[in-house]
Structure 1
Amino acid sequence: MKRLLGFVVKEFIHIFRDPRTVIVLFGIPVVQILLFGFVIKLEINDSNIAILDLSKDEVSLSLSDRLCSSGFFRLKENLHSYNDIDRVLRSGKVKSVIVFGEDFGRDLAASGKASLSIIADGTEPNYATLVCNYATAIVNDFSREQNELNAGVTFAIQPEVRMFYNPELKDQFMFVPGVMAFVLILISALMTSIAITREKEFGTMEVLLVSPLRAGHIIVGKVVPYMVLSFITVLVILWMSWLVFELPIRGSLWLLIGVSMLYILLGLSLGIFISTVSNNMQQAIFISLMSLLLPTIILSGFIFPVENMPYGYGIASYLVPGKYYLIAIKNIMIKGLGIGYVWKETLVMSLMSAFFIWLSINSFKKKDYSRRGIIAMRTVLYLIRKEFKQIFRDVFLGKAIIGIPILQLLIFVPAVTLEIKRVDLCVIDRDMTAHSRQLLSAIQSSGVFRITRFTQSEDEANSLLHSDKNHMAIQIPSGFGRDIGNGHPARIMVSVNAINAMTAQLSWVYLSGIVNDMNMDIALESVGKHAPTMLKQVEVTHRIWYNEMLNYKHFMLPGILTILISLIGMVLGGINLVKEKEIGTIEQINVTPIKKHQFILSKMIPFLLISLFDLAFGLILGKLFFNMPFVGSIGLLFLSATIYLVGIMGLTLLISIYSHSQQQFLFVAFFFFIIFMLMGGIFTPTDSMPLWAQKMNYFNPMMYQMRVTRMVMLKGSGLMDVGKDLLALLIFGVMLSVLAVRGYRKVA
């Protein structure tokens, strides 16, 4: 025991020896939770729209005012002809265009019907769906109010909705737990994934091997210090979630802390296992990021509902640790449930932790830890050859740096969807009349809702919402059909699981549309066929441009490609320089005639070429496997990607120059990478972010590259359309590359 305690103390001393590393370990998770809790949103706020009003009558102007004053839409431009629509959508100035046909008000008065078109930019399918549904709901409310005011018709069915657990539909209830799950496991795994590989690279592993310490002692000694630090981090994160985002802790605080620590132990044990099977820190870092980054974002339920994915991905999600933690903390924090509802997730995380610790000890025992002008241009070429040899000398890394990103592209692109394909609901029908059966038949046949349970018990319906077996419960009271027949308002009660605010909102919009259609049918029957024009109905047509089928694969492939080439450029590109410093070869280079810009170029070019190769290969596979369209110029896309990669590699080289260890570099680079990724519009629309976050995004190169990639590939945008984005990337690239060159001189 004394030996083990001594080893644990040694690890603590090693961690706290560098104050900057400690600041990074504590600061990064807290800053990311604070930032992303405010920034990541799927709701629509002040979405830029354009209006083409060919009628310009009192009704069209009134409806336009209703749309723009709703808080969901903001008028960016009034158009004058159909030719303007492609211009504003292709340039990205607006996400949708509302088109009023000629004689809109006259048609509504004469025939009771008028047409309105919503043309949405389909390059972001979820955003296009939200825009169309929100605008349609506003138009339907407008029609209902006009009928009640002018025709004296009261719509029969009046739903009363209750949003369970999240009545204000705050996105933070969904995303803050997700960011916690994402950040905690990545930080935990990355911290320990380089713990043993560091010992191997610096030759201190032999000292441990000849000591009386057992393999289990070494593993425990590596884990315990980070467990203690992570415990403090969890307390700070939970406190900040409650104080800043008003995220409730309705269940047991001790149970929540216990589950969080178990999840961190799982991340640490997974990191230790990765470090025991890796030969160097680059391998360990690459495996950690590739095995945890995209799987946690995509398959855990953090952003994308697992139940909407193809069947095989639902099965694969059971292998993702973040899924279990996310379910557990939502049940404890937001629903206020106890161990009886989270014991399965707790058991699975415990078994996973034990399994990876056992694998680590066995792998540790089995491994063998023995140590294993023209002239200027020629110099640069020699250094580039040296860098390529260093990369591909590691057989695993040489294959993985190309193979794993492409494999992840093929695996994860089909999984990503925010489309609501199925909403499971429970029905309490206490009326049992023709009208109630008509309503339920319309709901069931919509293709969105699936009735999974009929019951007469409200407690049973609530229990199904608690356990996530149903997303919605509908209660039809007795007398429902009688009230409709007598022309009285007939109420139904709708309860929605609103932890996922976007799913709750869309489900409610879909249900409202079904109820609105049935109300119109009932109103037509009550008014009579002799006076159909008394009822006013605006018929809304949805038209999607650039991605007519709202194919999420076409939306996500550019995003995942951008993530993968960024990982190669940001992480592997910069860590090479820190490795040179740690093993001492940087001093040998500093005394040679090699100039500083030659050295920086030699560090950039190999990873730039590898990244561009991955981009080209990914585009080819996207066309072969997903029929990915490519409407614009491929030269323009590769020009943008080259400028972008130069910029982010300049940033990471700048970070590496001022980092004393690979661990320190990794956490700082990871901090910037996660911010760039989650704020770059890859998964969630940038237009939904707060205004201050949108201004902050001006300094986010990934946002510009993401926008250029989608505009060129899906819209066929040209140089004039993306010129401002390319200029921003160019300024970013030049500035950071110059800083990297100047910074290297200071350190050398």
Structure 2
Amino acid sequence: MRNILVLVRKEFLQIFRNRQLLPFMTVLPVVQVILLTFAANYEIKNLRLGIWDLDQSTSSSQLIHKFTGANFFQKTDLINNQKKADDLLMRDAIDLVLVIPKDFEKNIKIQNSPPAVQFQINALNNSKAGIVQNYASAITQDFMSDVRGNANTSASPKIIPVTNFWYNPTLNYKTIMLPGIVAEVMTLIIILICALNVVREREIGTIEQLNVTPLKKYEFILGKLIPFWFIGHFIFWAGIALGRLIFHIPMVGSLGLLELFLAVFLFVPLGIGLFISTAVETQQQALFTSFFFIILFILMCGLFTPVETMPDWAQWVNQLNPLKYFVEVNRLILLKGSGIAEIYPFILKMFVYGIGINALAIWRFKKTS
């Protein structure tokens, strides 16, 4: 028992004497808990509503007022044709299109002819789509309750909603989760191995031997990063292939376009890993620091909770989360079939991000190596 107590005392002394490791074990977890408690918000609100009113009647206006008066929906656009509805859904500018057919008011007054409305729901996020359907159905039934209350007859018809789930018709959870999980795993591994590999060189002293060789710094950095760039490709495409073979994940869009984004994106986690390696001294510190950023990236990337429901300040901070862009692009290409017009802004952002983080990492590397 005495030997165990001595060992425990030694470990505590070693931790408290490590000025670099101690903040990672105390301050950073507190920051994570505070930040994620506010940011990981599962409340769905401010849903974007499009209205396509083919009846243009008093009853249809009353139903629209019910939707726009609810706290869940905000009216974004009036729609007059299916092409415009398709465009808004494709650009992810809308969550729900409320379609009110002709003769809506007439059918309300006919006892044996129940009126129907259509919900065209953006189901790219299946959990969010299910909540949108529940909200919309509840509002329509509440509207019909008001109609029954004002009607002279004892048996007024019910509205029959006809729902179409776009991009994920069966609301298959695996369809939404797998592309994001593959992106997360790849990003995690690339950041970790890049950070740990460079730090290991410093720990064992081989980086000092390389510094006295004719090898230039940029050659050393490229020699370190390029292998991991290929490893990232292998991890990602192996995961996508398994998802296709085992879970039958749809691949609606261009895989070449996805590869183009992946090729640019990989320089961001590589740069983050390199930057981490310049800010720490040991592999243990690199591990703790990497996990700090990775946990934030994963929980705020939009895979588990929609980014739109986060507070404004969290959405602003989340602009620095590269994984958010990768998860979104994966869904846009694989599930939605988006083309270069929708993807090129993400490619441009990752290109600028990659240049910035790698330039900062290289500058730090020159100062610390």
What residue is the counterpart of 2:148 in the other structure? 147
Check conservation: 1:95, 1:120, Cα contact below 8 A.
yes
- Provide the secondary structure at the position in 2 that maps to 1:541: strand
Alignment partner, residue 370 of structure 1: none
| Matched residue SS, 1:85 | helix
Partner of 1:122: 123
- Taking the aligned partners of 2:152 and 2:307, their CA distance within structure 1 comes to 42
Instruction: Tell me whether 1:622 sits opposite 2:243 in the alignment.
Output: yes
Task: State the distance in 2 between where 1:79 and 1:725 align.
Answer: 28
Largest Rg, 1 or 2: 1
Q: Tell me which residue corresponds to 1:88.
A: 88
Shift of 1:60: 2.0
Task: Tell me if the contact between 1:123 and 1:554 (Cα under 8 Å) persists in the aligned partners.
Answer: no
CA contact (8 A) 2:48 2:93 kept: yes
Opposite residue 133 of structure 2, the aligned amino acid is C
User: 1:141-540 counterparts in 2 under 5 A?
Assistant: 141-151=142-152, 527=154, 535-540=156-161
Q: In structure 2, what residue type is equivalent to 1:584?
A: G
Residue of structure 2 in register with 1:38 after alignment: 38
* Alpha-carbon spacing, 1:96–1:5, altered in 2? closer, same or farther (3 Å): same
For 1:66 and 1:596, how far apart are their aligned partners in 2? 65
The corresponding residue for 1:51 is 51
Amino acid at match of 2:211: N
Cα RMSD after superposing both structures: 1.8
Instruction: Name the aligned partner's letter for residue 604 of structure 1.
Output: L
Q: Give the direction of change, closer, same or farther, for the CA distance of 1:727–1:64 in structure 2 (3 Å limit).
A: farther
Q: Is the 8 A contact 2:52 2:78 kept in 1?
A: yes
What amino acid is the match of 2:353? F
Q: How big is the shift at 1:627?
A: 1.6
What CA distance in whole angstroms lies between the structure 2 residues aligned with 1:711 and 1:151?
50
Rounded to whole Å, the distance in 1 between the matches of 2:77 and 2:92 is 12
Match for residue 348 of structure 2?
Answer: 727
Provide closer, same or farther for how the CA distance between residues 65 and 692 of structure 1 changes in structure 2, counting only shifts above 3 A: farther
Q: Deviations over 1:467-518 (max 9, x none)?
A: xxxxxxxxxxxxxxxxxxxxxxxxxxxxxxxxxxxxxxxxxxxxxxxxxxxx
Match of 2:208 among 584, 587, 606: 587
| Deviation at residue 536 of structure 1 after TM alignment | 4.3
Match of 1:102 in 2: 102
Q: Deviations over 1:688-725 (max 9, x none)?
A: 22232222222211111100001100110011112222
Deviation by residue 1:517-551 (Cα, 9 ceiling, x = unmatched): xxxxxxxxxx3xxxx5xx14322111111111111
8 Å CA contact 1:91, 1:722 repeated in 2: no
Following superposition, the deviation at residue 135 of structure 1 comes to 0.8
Q: Distance in 1 between matches of 2:95 and 2:163?
A: 13
TM-superposed CA distance for 1:738, in Å, is: 1.0
Match of 1:602 among 223, 226, 231: 223
Please identify, of 111-120 and 653-662, the stretch whose mean Cα deviation from structure 2 is larger.
111-120
**Cα gap change, 1:3/1:675 in structure 2, threshold over 3 Å: closer, same or farther?**
same
Deviations 1:71-119 (A, max 9, x none): 2122222222101122111221222221112233333235563221111
Cα separation, partners in 2 of 1:597 and 1:95, compared to 1, 3 Å: farther
Q: Which residue of 1 aligns with 2:25?
A: 25
Shift of 1:651: 1.2
Quote the Cα distance in structure 2 between the aligned partners of 1:31 and 1:59. Answer: 52
TM-score between both structures, scaled by the size of structure 2: 0.94
Q: What are the within-5 Å matches in structure 2 for residues 71-86 of structure 1? A: 71-86=71-86
Cα deviation for residue 6 of structure 1 reads 3.7
Q: In 1, are the aligned partners of 2:190 and 2:270 still within 8 Å (CA)? A: yes
Check the 8 A contact 1:47/1:688 in 2, yes or no: no
How big is the shift at 1:4?
4.0
Note the alpha carbon deviations across 1:174-230, whole angstroms, 9 max, x for none: xxxxxxxxxxxxxxxxxxxxxxxxxxxxxxxxxxxxxxxxxxxxxxxxxxxxxxxxx
Instruction: Give 1:2 deviation, angstroms.
Output: 5.2
**Distance (Å, rounded) in 1 between the aligned partners of 2:119 and 2:212:** 66
**In the alignment, which residue of structure 1 is the partner of 2:132?**
131
Per the TM alignment, residue 45 of structure 1 is displaced from its structure 2 partner at its CA by: 0.8
**Secondary structure of 2:115 counterpart:** strand
Equivalence for 2:266: 645
CA distance in 2, matches of 1:596, 1:55: 70
Partner of 1:567: 188
Q: Could you list the per-position Cα deviations for residues 573-621 of structure 1 after superposition, in whole angstroms to 9, with x for gaps in the alignment?
A: 2110111111111111122222222222222211221121121122222
Looking at structure 1, the residues matched to 179 and 32 of structure 2 have their Cα atoms a distance apart, in angstroms, of: 24
Q: CA deviation at 1:10?
A: 2.5
1:620–1:5 Cα change, 3 Å: closer
Cα separation, 2, equivalents of 1:569 and 1:66: 49
Between the aligned partners of 2:110 and 2:279, the Cα distance in structure 1 is: 74
Q: Distance in 1 between matches of 2:150 and 2:321?
A: 50
2: distance between equivalents of 1:41 and 1:88? 25
**Which SS does the other structure have where 2:121 is aligned?**
strand
C-alpha distance in 2, partners of 1:731/1:597?
19
* Contact persistence 2:110–2:157 (CA under 8 A): no
Distance 1:695 1:78 in 2: 29
CA distance in 2, matches of 1:70, 1:692: 25
Q: Which residue of 1 aligns with 2:319?
A: 698
Would the alpha carbon gap of residues 594 and 50 (structure 1) be closer, same or farther in structure 2, given more than 3 Å must change? farther
Distance in 2, Cα, partners of 1:644 & 1:4 = 48
AA paired with 2:147?
A: Q
Amino acid at match of 1:105: E
Deviations 1:355-385 (Å, cap 9, x if unpaired)? xxxxxxxxxxxxxxxxxxxxxxxxxxxxxxx
Aligned to 2:9: 9
Letter in 2 for 1:711: L
Between 667-676 and 602-611, report the one with greater CA deviation: 602-611
Q: CA deviation at 1:3?
A: 4.5
Question: Any idea what SS the aligned residue of 1:620 has?
Answer: helix
Q: Is 1:97–1:119's contact at 8 Å kept on the other side of the alignment?
A: yes
Per the alignment, residue 521 of structure 1 pairs with none
Q: Is the 2:54–2:100 contact (alpha carbons within 8 Å) kept by the matching residues of 1? A: yes
Alignment TM-score, normalising by the size of structure 1 = 0.48
How far 1:657 moved relative to its partner? Answer: 0.7
In 2: Cα distance, 1:24 partner to 1:594 partner: 34
Give the partner amino acid of 2:181: I
Name the aligned partner's letter for residue 102 of structure 1: K
- 1:713 aligned residue: 334
- Counterpart CA distance in 1 for 2:49 and 2:264 is 31
Q: Identify if the C-alpha distance between structure 1 residues 652 and 2 changes in structure 2 by more than 3 Å, giving closer, same or farther.
A: same
Distance, in Å, in 1 between the alignment partners of 2:344 and 2:47 is: 23
* CA offsets 1:411-459 (integer angstroms, 9 cap, x no match): xxxxxxxxxxxxxxxxxxxxxxxxxxxxxxxxxxxxxxxxxxxxxxxxx
Q: 1:696 to 1:106 in 2, by over 3 A?
A: farther
CA distance in 2: counterparts of 1:632 and 1:745, whole angstroms: 42
Q: Which runs of 5+ in 1 are unaligned?
A: 153-526
One-letter code aligned to 1:11 = E
Q: Secondary structure at the match of 1:537?
A: coil
Q: 2:292 pairs with 645, 659, 671, which one?
A: 671
Q: What one-letter code is carried by the residue in structure 1 that aligns with 2:315?
A: Q
Q: Distance in 1 between matches of 2:105 and 2:192?
A: 59
1:60 aligns with 2:37: no
